[in-house]
Structure 1
Amino acid sequence: MSAARADFRVLFAGTPQTAVPSLEALVQAGFSVVAVLTRPDAPVGRKRTLTPSPVAARAAELGIPVLHASRLSGEPGRDTLDRIAALDLDAAAVVAYGALVPAAGLSLPRHGWVNLHFSLLPAYRGAAPVQHAILAQEAVTGACVFQLEDGLDTGPVFSRLTRDLEPGETAGEVLADLAVSGAALLSETLAGIQDGTARAEPQSGEPTLAPKLGQQDGHVDAAQAAAAVAARINGTTPEPGAWALLAGPAPADGPVRIKLVGARPEAVPTPEGNAPAGPRRPGELVVGRKAVHLQCADGTIRLERVQPAGKKVMAAADWARGLPEGARFLTGAEEAR
């Protein structure tokens, strides 16, 4: 830890668990984190109990003052910006805060605001970069630290890292990994900004967007290619959640919504399964002793875990053993009828 880092006054802006490793890294590096900016307490669980954000909770444990703001625009936003201005900041570091910083706030810290973003900019600008990268079946993703400006993730980039996307990885798993490696990248970049050695380069290449995903984005249609179906499941796990409609062998048996948690393209081992011999239709399940596979348009995927309505997540093979023979997932075309 460098004693000189303690002279560099930093505001940390972040909200979810993904941002916590970055807060911890800046504190560990010795930066003077004078305050944390996070979104207000939110209702959590069935009882809708107001709960601090993961960043707010960790800041409290570290003894760092917390500013709560759902936005930095309008009258409430101006009050928050006034409080930030009074902190006499050298820099502000942002990791998934959840609100835009208006032009009036960008110049408050002497070195501006730097943002850790979980993509290789200009690819996947927006709120869900890792999810969209998996949905697009990218082979590589990464993280960038860039200078925040009055535009959606458009600022010049100080530093970046890359990592491969492995088959079967969920967005949650990739984000958890990038949260740790990205935290180190953010800390190193701030050190370079303080030392005067960091240089930001304009983004180059064709931009793509990664807007926040909604519930319908998690809809799984087994009539698509196996790789695309697996990517849909993994890219929307854990949020907003992948799901499909399970229908029983008789019309009175369904359909019911089943949450799918993780999958990978994989051929059905032979001999195994309870499906009849011959071609299988998309949506059919092949249940074995240790695995359950879903038939897609051009092959099968292995389902990792599932969550039936009102129950906990369980291994897919354990869930499938209780299914009636002939139960299958409906395709999108069948649902539309």
Structure 2
Amino acid sequence: MSSPLPILFAGTPQVAVPALELLASDSEHFKVVAVLTRPDAPQGRGRKLAPSPVKAAAVALGIDVLESNPSDPDFPQTLQATGARCGAVVAYGRILKQPVLDALEGGWYNLHFSLLPQWRGAAPVQRALWSGEQITGATVFQLTKGMDEGPIVAQSTVRIGEHETSGELLERLAQDGAHLLAASLEAVGEGRAVPQPQPQGAYEIARKITTEDAHVRFDQPAFAVDRQIRACTPEPGAWCQYHAGQDAQPVVLHILRAQPLSQADNAPGQTLPVGHLLVGKHAVWVGTKTQPLELLEVKAAGKKAMKAADWARGAHCEAGAYCD
């Protein structure tokens, strides 16, 4: 029986934790010799320094943690001193330059949450959902200097839920992708992996979604508004400005959940102007370019998340109230 493959794991956010925990638990095939993550960062209202989710998981597992800058000239030597043969990367958040990639003889393997070569870049799950795709997945590929361009080791697919947010979808992909990464690294360690070059062509780039991108556009069809809200939930958070009346000062309102209405739904029996609200006893609707969109859950500034109908009662929405 061959010895376990020594791995250095690089990751930062919660989405990387399932892969780290799975690799660490499989002592028959792997030995996670060290974890590379981003340094502690200010978090919360108090802006106190806090470890990344990956660092917290590594400490709990008793794994050595590296918080070095991979751009430091001596970093390749630091990597080699760990005894790692391969690197596994899940949402680390820093670019690894060629000297770092060359430092581990077995190479680096990245888990990316799209079906490459589509949606290379920072926000593949959000962009796939926003574009209306029904199928997405995860890809394990060998890191090269090009952005998400390396040869593919393995892929898996999932169907996107009709009402799924990007956060919910990413959570599913993190679990599925952890097993895909483990199987890929096992194949690498046993010499069975045969990475295949990515197809050439023009593909969509998954640009990071900014707070301004998350400003909801109600002058779009209801299905497009719904996609925008789901793609931006929970990060950076879909939002609009709520006006209690024509002359009222706007306040920020985050939209956490909404749904387009079909003719069979309990929809308002009237056409709503774009952005205008209609408040019923148990529902709140907002006008779009097409049919109304029902707001299900919202969060006003300084308030807790709540059902849209409860918020509307507390906000004393009157005729002429609108969002933009």
**Distance in 1 of aligned mates of 2:266 and 2:86:** 62
**Distance in 1 of aligned mates of 2:174 and 2:257:** 20
What's the counterpart of residue 25 of structure 2? Answer: 28
Does residue 82 of structure 2 align to residue 90 of structure 1?
no
Superposition TM-score, scaled by structure 1 size: 0.90
Deviation of 1:250 (Å): 4.0
Pick the aligned partner of 1:192 from 181, 187, 192. 187
Deviation of 1:268 (Å): 7.3
For residues 230-258 of structure 1, the C-alpha deviation after alignment (integer angstroms, 9 at most, x for no partner) is 1111111111111001111240x221110
What's the counterpart of residue 326 of structure 1? Answer: 319
Superposition CA RMSD, Å: 1.8
Deviation of 1:269 (Å): 6.6
Q: Is the 8 A contact 1:267 1:300 kept in 2?
A: no
Pick the aligned partner of 2:297 from 305, 314, 336. 305
Count of residue correspondences: 320
Superposition TM-score, scaled by structure 2 size: 0.94
Q: Is the 8 A contact 2:272 2:286 kept in 1?
A: no
- Structure 2's unaligned 5+ residue stretches are none
Q: Is the 8 A contact 1:11 1:34 kept in 2?
A: yes
Deviation of 1:327 (Å): 5.2
**Distance in 1 of aligned mates of 2:320 and 2:107:** 57
Does residue 94 of structure 2 align to residue 103 of structure 1?
no
Deviation of 1:279 (Å): 2.5
- The 1:270–1:88 alpha-carbon spacing in structure 2 relative to 1, beyond 3 Å, is closer
What's the counterpart of residue 266 of structure 1? Answer: 261
- The 1:121–1:271 alpha-carbon spacing in structure 2 relative to 1, beyond 3 Å, is closer
2:293 alignment partner, SS class = strand
Does residue 148 of structure 2 align to residue 153 of structure 1?
yes
What's the counterpart of residue 74 of structure 2? Answer: 79
- Structure 1's unaligned 5+ residue stretches are 332-337
**Distance in 1 of aligned mates of 2:284 and 2:148:** 41
What's the counterpart of residue 163 of structure 1? Answer: 158
What's the counterpart of residue 43 of structure 1? Answer: 42
What's the counterpart of residue 234 of structure 1? Answer: 230
Deviation of 1:272 (Å): 6.4
**Distance in 1 of aligned mates of 2:124 and 2:168:** 14
For residues 259-315 of structure 1, the C-alpha deviation after alignment (integer angstroms, 9 at most, x for no partner) is 111222223777666xxx643101122333433222210112222321100111112
Deviation of 1:109 (Å): 1.5
Deviation of 1:318 (Å): 1.7
For residues 183-234 of structure 1, the C-alpha deviation after alignment (integer angstroms, 9 at most, x for no partner) is 0000010001111111111111532211212110101011111111111111
Counterpart AA for 2:318: E
Q: Is the 8 A contact 1:215 1:240 kept in 2?
A: yes
Which one is further off, 301-310 or 169-178? Answer: 301-310
**Distance in 2 of aligned mates of 1:151 and 1:256:** 43
